[in-house]
Amino acid sequence: MGYAHGDGGETWFPHTPGGLEKHGYSRYQGWKTAMRVLVIEDDQRLARLVARVLGEAYYQVDVAHDGDTGLDLVLRGTYDVAIIDWMLPGRDGPSICRAARLARLPTALLLLTARGQIEDKVAGLDSGADDYLVKPFAFEELLARVRALSRRFAPPGADAQEARAGAIVLDLRGHTARRNTRALDLTPTEWNLLEYLIRHQGQTLTRQQILDYVWSYEHDVQPQMVDVYISYLRRKLNGPGERDPIVTVRGVGYRLEAPDV
């Protein structure tokens, strides 16, 4: 798989949707999985390499190329793991880690740096990072560290193969969905919306939280779009005689309550 050094060059990405690299960050893959990773790295070639490796391992990856954009994305609280370079334009990696910890985010933080001295590692971990990886690094080691962080910070009962809320099941590898034995034909946006609701089942999510997760790379989407797609999703989720699992919390947003059938 190779090593990451962060030198110049170009890389082709089979999963990169066209036209999404804007506003200082980019997204790889249109479908989400149960684990979402943010890469904050100003070396664009290295960032693309890391994103491709993670994408091929079925992680959903967003990329930011400066510290201020990276912090804005981290503070949305929608990432399972953030991989953060130490030296960045604007805000540096340790300050992003400190801000994330002050916000009490559950996101696991992996700090990347060329600094390999013990005092640097101590400073990085003391800033709030959960792990520390020195450049150059092997991609196999990066993936192993991300897997370890994912296991440590995953909610109880989390499964890398599927996301489940009662009778509703998403097969994260095969990208199939069902309610009991009935298949659900979901668009990518409907899938991402349902996956987010399942991961936060029982929790009331605001429209803005849903917007930040499902449409985070689109800056011109209005909160009303959430209501539209909730309506689409309800039509597909609810068969004759089945309880609607999506609860509308008036003036706030929506909550998924796991259906038994």
Q: DSSP E strands: which ranges in 77-175?
A: 81-85, 108-113, 131-134, 137-138, 162-165, 168-171
**51-to-40, 56, 63 alpha-carbon distances in Å:** 10, 9, 7
Question: 53: helix, coil or strand?
Answer: helix
Domains defined for the chain, CATH in brackets: 3-153 (3.40.50.2300), 162-256 (1.10.10.10)
| Order of strands across the sheet that contains 205-206 | 205-206, 253-256, 246-249
Kindly write down the DSSP assignment for every residue of 142-165, as one continuous string: HHHHHHHHHHHHSPTT--SSEEEE
Taking 3-state DSSP, the helix, strand and coil percentages for the chain, each rounded to the nearest 5, stand at: 35, 25, 45
CA 209, 44, 80, 93 dihedral sign is negative
| Order of strands across the sheet that contains 162-165 | 162-165, 168-171, 176-179, 182-184
Instruction: Evaluate if pTM is beyond 0.75.
Output: no
The first and second tokens of residue 108, run together, are 């696991």
Tens-of-pLDDT digits for all 261 residues of the chain? 444 444 332 222 333 333 233 334 444 444 444 578 999 999 999 999 999 999 888 788 899 999 999 999 998 888 889 999 999 999 999 999 999 999 888 899 999 988 878 888 899 899 999 999 999 899 999 999 998 988 776 655 555 577 888 999 998 778 899 999 999 999 989 998 998 899 888 889 999 888 888 886 566 788 889 999 999 999 999 999 899 999 999 999 999 998 876
